[in-house]
Structure 1
Amino acid sequence: MGKNAFISLKSFNELDTNEVIEVITPGEFEKIENGYKAIYNETELSGMEGTTTTLKILENELVLEREGSTSARMNFKEGETSISMYNTPYGVLDLQIHTDELKLDIDENGGDIFAKYSMALGGQPPIKTNLTVSVKIN
């Protein structure tokens, strides 16, 4: 059983740095065998209501998994490219992520994550995106 936590996510793409998406949500945070795990439920605001998001924070990798109305598994590992399927209520899209930078500063009390990556969805040109995540135990 995890600890109650507030999980803050902030994302913006480099095409429009004024359009910042920021979500602060209650969730759970726990230590797992090879790292940590933060879990939260998406809301109507994210457009993914009915979806549970799990962030697995490993030694040098971030894995974002979504299950529910939207499902996906996205891997972020510095210098590497991952490919996954992004299942939405509107269809399945091919998702390609190349992680330029990944900083993980997490321990049993929470912490911070920063990822800078290029994401190409459904064969479109890649968009450079910055993601910051903060986990605070409450």
Structure 2
Amino acid sequence: MDARLKIKVTSKITDAQGATAEMVIFSDATYKAIGDKRYLMYEETEGSGLEGTKTLLSYESGLVRIKRYGDVNSDLVIQLDATHENFYRTPYGIFEMQTSGKSVHWDDNGRLEILMDYQLCLTSDGTCSHVFIEIEEL
């Protein structure tokens, strides 16, 4: 299955003090299924603060990998009940992070729906945020 899609990406980030920021972007995307692996690629927009960056999500056996290419480069792994070490490279430096998956849902039967709920912690100072991402086909 290869397809061009229009998607809506909703991100909610709650910081350690309980303040929540929500961001919604709309983007064109490409979707590919190869065997049991799934791939979704889209370009970030100005609204995300990552304009000029491509995001590639891959999914297999309950594990989501979020790779970003451009001014910001990252490779985050989200997996239910697992903690992974990750790196986020920005023009301001490299940040080491940990992700701990709370839930992962990827459904491409009919319309595409992806839900990820995870904790993201900066390794350097232990600051953690709760991240919820929903991607849906329009």
Q: Shorter-chain TM-score: which interval?
A: 0.7 to 0.9
Unaligned runs of 5+ in 1: none
Determine helix, strand or coil for the equivalent of 1:45.
helix
Decide which of 19, 26, 35 is 1:16's aligned counterpart: 19
Letter in 2 for 1:16: A
Q: TM-score, normalised by structure 2?
A: 0.86
Contact 1:94–1:123, Cα closer than 8 Å, also in 2: no
Q: CA deviation at 1:80?
A: 0.3
Q: In the TM superposition, what is the alpha-carbon distance from 1:110 to its structure 2 partner?
A: 4.2
Q: Is the 8 A contact 1:29 1:110 kept in 2?
A: no
Q: CA deviation at 1:104?
A: 2.0
Find the aligned partners of 2:70 and 2:2 in 1 and give their Cα distance.
Answer: 21
* Runs of 4+ with deviation above 4 angstroms: none
TM-score relative to the length of structure 1: 0.86
How far the C-alpha of 1:43 sits from its partner, in A, is 2.0
Does the residue aligned with 2:80 lie in a helix, a strand or coil? coil
Partner of 1:72: helix, strand, or coil?
Answer: strand
Q: RMSD between aligned alpha carbons? A: 1.8
Q: Distance in 2 between matches of 1:123 and 1:33?
A: 40
Alignment check: 8 A CA contact 2:23 2:47 kept: no
Structure 2, unmatched stretches of 5+, are none
Are 2:35 and 1:37 equivalent residues in the alignment?
no
| Number of matched pairs | 134
Partner of 1:7: 7
Identity among equivalent positions (%) equals 22
Counterpart mapping for 1:57-68 below 5 A: 57-68=59-70
- Say whether the 8 Å CA contact 1:42–1:50 is kept in structure 2: yes
- For the residue of structure 1 that corresponds to 2:101, the secondary structure is strand
